[in-house]
Amino acid sequence: MGAESSPKIVIVDESPIRAAILEEGLREAGFTGVVHISEMQSLLERIYALDPDVILIDLENPSRDVLEQMFQVSRAVRRPIAMFVDQSDAASIQASVDAGVSAYIVDGLKKERIKPILDLCISRFNAFSKLQNELDRAKSALEDRKVIDRAKGILMRLKGLTEDEAYVLLRSMAMREKKKIAEIAQSILTASELLK
Amino acid sequence: MTISLHVGFIPLVDAAALIVAVDKGFAAAEGLEVTLVREVSWSNIRDKLNIGLFDAAHLLAPVAIASSLGLGHIKVPIVAPFNLGLNGNAITVSPALHATIMGEIEGDPFDPMATALALARIVATRQRSGAEPLTFGMTFPFSTHNYQLRYWMAAAGIDPDEDVRLVVLPPPYMVDSLANGQVDAFCVGAPWNSIAVDRGVGHILHFVSDILTRAAEKVLAVRQSWSEKNPDVLAALIRAAFRATEFIDEPGNRAEVARLLAQPERIGVDADVIRRTLDGRLKISPDGTIRESDRYLLVGREGAARPDPMQVAWLYAQMVRWGQASFSPQALQIAKAVFRPDLYDAVLGLEGNSRDRASNVMGTFAGPVFDADDIAGYLASLQMARRPS
């Protein structure tokens, strides 16, 4: 492809949500040739068939080692691929590893054209993990509430308390034991399982 | 004062010395609070070690050399003052390929020359009939697995780049890939060969100790700059790993070691499968055939933990042989400086003690004798080699 047209970018990611977030960001920034690969079987063949200029892969993906094979000169490889980073780009590697993504760039693509792609990639990956953390927190808060509700129910039944009184009891126990209310609630559930 | 360290590892049995050092408290006894971080790829381990997210790592010996030479990635000098294991890999083939090799073989099926010659005939037959080339999985371009497969095949005249396909596969995907026919064989470390046999989808054709009697496999790797800034911490880490290898080598501790390694956050497979590797007593066929070898995996035994400059020179020679590196005396010096027996000896008080010295032989099953002082001559005497591009 010509050096000035939009580079062809392949995203290798088993997370469809994260890939979609990244793909959207790249398109908004004017990178039109974006393809997402989510199936890891015959990964190299797929990549060779697409013939990309840039490959982005998440670091949780064991298939990263498969991509390293592209550096090797062998019969199957049409052109060698080098990671975009050179000796001067340690900070870029740091930022991308922190974000959980790695980039492979076909030799010949100019460094200044790669930088915006990588920056965007890093910011989208960071945004995704923030989202993921929030989601995890929300999930665990919901789980906690379920556990607390069930423990309250047990206390109400066994000790003839109102809901508010059951909650106050849980909270004071948690303060005394220096534990979270959900942990106290969980131990009540466990104990009641045992005593069934 | 407690020093906190982050150490990366790949879930393989040859991470044993690190796992045992941490989980049996040998690291803590040295004042180290080590967080072991399980990783999914060698690329991740290399990058996180290089940029300092890891203080130390369980690393393929050839990756330590490649990183120091700047091959395939940025150049970060790495030092390896401790071998975590010698050998430990095996070549496993599909039941179909196994049957074909056994039909072709002339001689002892454990003799790598006999299997390689049989394979060469099979490859030639397939080429004549226009069949797809056989595909062999291995773990990384800069891996002992890659060089061991190549060494074995090339001895029988098979060109590993032309006559077969060699593909990188992450170890956890190996068994499935063999089962679904994506590869016909693979070379990988424990426990994956045993898992393929247990699932009935593979036969262990060779222990790599059939091909080389002593092959440096994984090392304890640190950045050279880090080693210079933290000599005392490194010494403590070496002592902890050494204590761990002594513990692992004691047959009475094997059950406990297997249980520690089997934990879900460590290797996460059945303790029984790990035990077979530690004992060198492996089921090699789905029919239950057992093969024993005291050379299958060496952790600490026979001076295995002491980095051997001969080993590193041999690995560098393989990189040159297969076109991954060009030969230069300077590069050889850099490669040799990766292995640091001097640090090992100094920390463990073994200077001048020759008992632990390696026998200075690679113990290859075929080919010219390796001469670390004449690599150019060695390479010239090989029948098959790539020219670096």
pLDDT, tens only, B58-72: 999 999 999 999 987
Smallest Cβ distance to A72: which of B70, B141, B172? B141
Q: Is the pLDDT of residue B309 over 90?
A: no
Please tell me what DSSP assigns to residue B132. Answer: P
Kindly report the number of other CB atoms within 10 A of residue A145's CB atom. 13
pLDDT, tens only, A91-115: 777 888 888 888 887 766 676 777 7
Query: Which of B43, B319, B389 should one mutate to test binding to chain A, selecting the residue with the greatest count of A CBs within 10 A?
Result: B43
Average pLDDT of the residues of chain A: 84
Looking at CA atoms only, how far is residue B318 from chain A in angstroms?
Answer: 14
pLDDT, tens only, A106-154: 766 676 777 788 888 888 888 888 888 888 899 989 999 999 999 999 9
DSSP state string for A43-68 = HHHHHHHH--SEEEEETT-TTHHHHH
Query: pLDDT grade, residue A72 (50/70/90)?
Result: low
Query: pLDDT grade, residue A187 (50/70/90)?
Result: very high
CB B117 within 8 A of CB B155: no
Q: Is the pLDDT of residue B354 over 80?
A: no
Q: Is the pLDDT of residue B237 over 50?
A: yes
Strand duo A101-106 + B216-223: pairing: unpaired
A135: contact with B, CB 8 A cutoff: no
Query: pLDDT grade, residue B229 (50/70/90)?
Result: very high
Q: Is the pLDDT of residue A174 over 50?
A: yes
Smallest Cβ distance to B53: which of A72, A87, A97? A97
B335: contact with A, CB 8 A cutoff: no
pLDDT, tens only, A29-38: 999 999 999 9
Q: Do A93 and B139 touch (CB under 8 A)?
A: no
Q: Is the pLDDT of residue B290 over 60?
A: yes
Structure tokens at A129: 């993990």
Q: Which of B25, B66, B92 has the alpha carbon at shortest distance from B219? A: B66
Tell me which of B27-41, B241-255, B301-315 is least confident.
B301-315
- pTM beyond 0.95: no
Q: Do A66 and B74 touch (CB under 8 A)?
A: no
% of residues, chain A, pLDDT over 70:
86
CA pair distance B269, A134, nearest whole angstrom:
32
CA pair distance A127, B202, nearest whole angstrom:
43
3-class secondary structure per residue, B57-122: EEEEHHHHHHHHHCCCCCCCCEEEEEEEEEECEEEEECHHHHHHHHHHCCCCCCCHHHHHHHHHHH
Query: pLDDT grade, residue A69 (50/70/90)?
Result: confident
For chain B, give me the number of helices (H) and strands (E)? 17, 13
Distance of CA B122 to the CA centre of its chain: 27
Q: Do A61 and B41 touch (CB under 8 A)?
A: yes
DSSP state string for chain A = --TTSPPPEEEE-S-HHHHHHHHHHHHHTT---EEEE---TTHHHHHHHH--SEEEEETT-TTHHHHHGGGS--TT-SS-EE-S--GGGHHHHHHHHHHTEEEEEETTS-HHHHHHHHHHHHHHHHHHHHHHHHHHHHHHHHHHHHHHHHHHHHHHHHH---HHHHHHHHHHHHHHHT--HHHHHHHHHHHHHHT-
pLDDT, tens only, B140-199: 999 999 999 999 999 999 999 999 999 999 998 999 999 999 999 999 999 999 999 999
Tell me which of A10-19, B6-15, B34-43, B145-154 is least confident.
A10-19
pLDDT of residue A76: 47
Q: Which of B286, B266, B148 has the alpha carbon at shortest distance from B204? A: B286
CA pair distance B85, B304, nearest whole angstrom:
7
Q: Do A94 and B51 touch (CB under 8 A)?
A: yes
- On chain A, the residues whose CB falls within 8 A of the CB of B182 are 41-42
pLDDT of residue B386: 74
pLDDT of residue B73: 79
pLDDT of residue A86: 53
Residue of chain A minimizing CA distance to B40 = A62
Residue given tokens 């199936």 in the structure block: A39
| Strand partners of residue A102 | A57
% of residues, chain B, pLDDT over 70:
97
A79: contact with B, CB 8 A cutoff: no
Q: Is the pLDDT of residue B357 over 80?
A: no
Average pLDDT of the residues of chain B: 93
CA pair distance B89, A116, nearest whole angstrom:
42
Residue given tokens 């996180």 in the structure block: B48
CA pair distance A83, A85, nearest whole angstrom:
5
Max Cα distance, chain A (Å)? 78
pLDDT, tens only, B69-126: 998 778 899 999 999 999 999 999 999 999 999 999 999 999 999 999 999 999 999 9
B362: contact with A, CB 8 A cutoff: no
Burial (CB count <10 Å: 0-12, 13-18, 19+), residue B356: middle
What phi-psi label fits residue A136: left (phi over 0), alpha (psi between -120 and 50 degrees) or beta? alpha
Q: Which of A121, A122, A128, A127 has the alpha carbon at shortest distance from A7? A: A121
Query: Which of B12, B39, B41 should one mutate to test binding to chain A, selecting the residue with the greatest count of A CBs within 10 A?
Result: B41
Residue given tokens 């010219």 in the structure block: B368
Mean pLDDT of B334-341: 96
CB B257 within 8 A of CB B267: no
CA pair distance B218, B54, nearest whole angstrom:
16
